[in-house]
């Protein structure tokens, strides 16, 4: 999954400014890191 999808209409319908509106900075970092790790393991 491309983490940029968190800024697409499906998510922004709930949080118009993106995940930063819902999560604090630490959790956003963990969220993007987890998405990256999962995407990399899925393509390996």
pLDDT of residue 19: 92
Question: Quick one: 15 exposed, middle or buried, by C-beta within 10 A (0-12, 13-18, 19+)?
Answer: middle
How many domains is the chain partitioned into structurally? Answer: 1
Q: Domain containing 21: what range?
A: 3-43
Q: Is residue 1 a contact partner of residue 42, using CB atoms and an 8 Å limit?
A: no
Q: Is residue 31 a contact partner of residue 23, using CB atoms and an 8 Å limit?
A: yes
pLDDT digits (tens, 9 = 90+) for 1-44: 888 888 999 888 989 999 999 999 999 999 999 999 999 998 86
pTM for the whole structure? 0.76
Query: Quick one: how far is CA 39 from the chain centroid?
Result: 12
């Amino acid at each position: 999954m491309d983490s940029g999808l968190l800024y697409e209409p499906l998510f922004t319908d709930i949080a118009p400014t993106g995940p930063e509106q819902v999560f604090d900075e630490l959790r956003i970092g963990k969220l993007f890191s987890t998405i990256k790790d999962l995407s990399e393991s899925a393509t390996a």
